[in-house]
Structure 1
């Protein structure tokens, strides 16, 4: 194992001072400081990681987000925060996946600011994603969802439940910091046909929510696995693009939907937590979608359709990486806002005006792991064509997109989909047809430039 070597020059420095004094010279104070604080980082530190799984199932009925206004009457399966902490010896990075539908970016800002103020955690190093199940409670202010779907948000958001979700997230991160242990990392790909393009086209070329077997799709499963020192798995991260909509608005039971069921199934098989990270699922549905209950929607079949495919791919992963360096990055993509669209007050910092045109300021995050893994994320429901193109043009052999991360602005369809109209284009997008290209070129440029050449920076000592 390679370690950080600190060169203690005190002994030699004392000898030098003694000889200088005998010679009758004086030593500048700046040189004194140089000698007494000189540290050389010669090699990387041992990779460490931890995982925490926290139950966020409510104990009372809650309004569910994702369809019409409706309140839960029971619990089909529990929902969780799954939190992974990664430490490369210089940087601690946290990935959270929560079994909820979506939340406003201002909710992320609120929690990230608390983590930074109280615990010294850099917001760039905290990614909070959601599985996008449509059978989970609302969290935080309504944000743009309240602009798009005001008729669904006429009730009060449960502040107590939101507070509980926030507190358990913070507590889980702090627990993960304490549980860090030496691990090895492996990376790989899988394949599953559990999803399908949901932009059904009629004879007039107009789109509606349905199934389009000829439409664009992304069926790759991106996998990251951390193994303990004894070779047993610590946690498996599975990145797959698919809406959490097996069950429709007729379902009133709280559930993680297909992402939650698959996670629990694979956990039981491998004996370790599984973190499901959704991808560019804006135009991708599960192949069984919007059924009135779990039986009609063949919910358990996703254990085979996706769960077994994750298990097959997991067997091929070799976890040989025990030293790594992480590099984080960010950029803001400014793209025109849809004309005439209102904006949510809690998101004022994400809007600007240039030459009389209202612009959306879309935050994008990046994580580089060594020289061959790149992950990027954005707070949107992205159409899969964009993440597919970014992956194809990326200089990194493993490029993953984490969707629904650090909030939600709505859908970002590609320019080719705008003439077809439909729900994603007309109802729940703040963007214009220029947005997908703006994002694609900005992300590819960043990956090919900044992230390819950027090296780890020296960071201040972390707070305990």
Structure 2
């Protein structure tokens, strides 16, 4: 026992010595409520055909601004299924004009809750049908309000900056499980795949005042925010929102922000009830408490931000004949096919390339945050962690856009929802091409500093 205590004390002393060499960092945090006070159609499930019927938990947009005026980054988290690139780029342009913030210095991450209002341009065919004019009008209104809220909360966080210390560590939560049931190597349905790929790491960034008071916590976890299913008709932040509530309840005055990693092929278990969402939120919050009480690594204020967009290759587009046959159907496939046929008849390109945003923030050579713009499966984070500096990588998905599902090359032969079926909801004409994974990984490696990379395989 005393050996263990001595080891812990030594780790704390080492952390304190490293902290002594790091000056305080200007950090600001802010929050805006984005819960609508009027009915809206919610994103996430085609099966849900009604507007929201009440509020189970409030939705928030939160921001964390790190760094001084010459080197600063601003992260905004939004309780929504999919904030599209059009909104992010619009706000980025406003922030560039008002405070000179570079595009590479601004990131927006969706929590991917499936119980929040749809944003115009986000997962365009998820509702499976054109909306009545009144419902469409309310979504236009909400989209404008969220766009303004993201700008407002980002500016408020920049204005709130105070000297702070940054530290980070990692924990582990168990409620994410791989959901791709396979039979004879082929996808057959959603379920629980105990041996499937999953990333259960819980990265935590702690923000404290020079006196040691907790100001903010940024938490990551790679799991779908789908505890609440298509039969649930109230607004909710799902497990991510409840995790923030638990953390903030334990630390009055501090703000908690949740970002979602590469969990597009992971579901929370158990699921289906509000108490399950609260259970998962409590589990994540409990793991955060363990990390906060442990030995964290100091994070320097030397920030380097980079941003790029990569053309992700897709397979061959559907033929007109295939679209004509598909157009006879109902729901999202029929709606998608009829829309694409109309585009063909107007002479438009029915199959635009997938423009995939990739962003990195590095803090000295201690921590690299990667932001990927889609529903990215676990294989990508696991591969990047193999190819990058051990223990120094934090991978986020659903960032700066939610372009589509991003299946890995391994999954293409398996087929199924994440590979094929889901692409219709995102207005994609085909599955990803076999070289898509390598193109995305290369794009990340191209903008990460060499200190974070191992030699390319």
Which band: TM-score by shorter chain? 0.7 to 0.9
Shift of 1:207: 3.4
Q: Distance in 2 between matches of 1:320 and 1:414?
A: 34
Q: 1:449 to 1:168 in 2, by over 3 A?
A: same
1:412-438 CA-partner distances (Å, limit 9, x unpaired): 111111122111111224422321122
Query: Secondary structure in 1 aligned to 2:309?
Result: strand
Q: How far apart are 1:320 and its partner, in Å? A: 4.6
The aligned counterpart of 1:438 is 439
SS for the counterpart of 1:339 is coil
Matched residue, 2:34: 56
Q: Measure, in 2, the Cα distance between the counterparts of 1:239 and 1:90.
A: 27
Contact 1:186 1:317 in 2 (8 A): no
- Answer yes or no: is 1:377 the counterpart of 2:358: no
Instruction: Name the stretch that deviates more: 51-60 or 335-344.
Output: 335-344
Q: 202, 205, 225: which is aligned to 2:206? A: 225
User: CA offset at residue 153 of structure 1?
Assistant: 4.8
Aligned length: 392
Q: How does 1:349-388 map to 2 (within 5 A)?
A: 359-388=353-382
- Following superposition of structure 1 onto structure 2, how do residues 42-441 of structure 1 map, counting pairs within 5 Å? 46-68=24-46, 69-88=49-68, 90-142=70-122, 145-146=123-124, 148-149=125-126, 151-155=128-132, 156=136, 158-203=139-184, 205-271=186-252, 272-289=254-271, 291=272, 293-295=273-275, 298-318=276-296, 320-321=298-299, 324-340=301-317, 359-395=353-389, 397-429=391-423, 430=428, 431-441=432-442
CA distance in 2, matches of 1:199, 1:313: 30
Q: Could you tell me whether the CA contact under 8 Å between 2:307 and 2:357 is conserved in 1?
A: yes
What's the secondary structure of 1:276's corresponding residue?
A: strand
Deviation at 1:61, TM superposition (A): 1.1
- Check conservation: 1:46, 1:89, Cα contact below 8 A: no
- Offset from partner CA, 1:244-281 (integer Å, 9 cap, x none): 10011100110000111111111111231111000001
Residues 359 and 372 of structure 2 are in contact (CA less than 8 Å); yes or no, is this contact kept in structure 1?
yes
Residues 1:448 and 1:95: Cα distance change in structure 2 (over 3 Å): closer
| CA distance 1:448–1:89, shift in 2 (3 Å) | closer
**Closer/same/farther in 2, CA of residues 358 and 317 from structure 1, 3 Å limit:** same
Q: Distance in 2 between the 1:310 and 1:425 partners?
A: 33
Structure 1 residue runs of 5 or longer lacking an equivalent are 1-42, 346-356, 454-464
Q: 1: distance between equivalents of 2:279 and 2:24?
A: 40
1:141 Cα deviation (Å)? 2.6
The 1:45/1:316 distance shift into structure 2, 3 A limit, reads closer
- Are the counterparts in 2 of residues 45 and 88 from structure 1 also a CA contact under 8 Å? no
More deviation, 94-103/197-206:
197-206
Normalised to the residue count of structure 1, the TM-score between the two structures is 0.79
Aligned counterparts of 2:50 and 2:451: Cα–Cα separation in 1: 46
CA contact (8 A) 1:377 1:405 kept: yes
Instruction: Call closer, same or farther: CA 1:46–1:244 in 2, change over 3 Å.
Output: same
Aligned equivalents of 1:200, 1:389: Cα separation in 2: 22
The gaps in structure 2 that reach 5 residues or longer are: 1-20, 319-335, 341-350
Q: Aligned with 2:207: secondary structure?
A: strand
Higher CA-based Rg:
1
> TM-score, with normalisation over the residues of structure 2?
0.80
Displacement after TM superposition at 1:205 (Å): 2.6
Whole-angstrom CA distance in 1 between matches of 2:167 and 2:281: 23
Distance, in Å, in 1 between the alignment partners of 2:419 and 2:87 is 25
Question: Retained in 2: the 8 A contact 1:226–1:319?
Answer: no
In terms of mean alpha carbon deviation, does 133-142 or 300-309 score higher?
Answer: 300-309
Shift of 1:110: 1.6
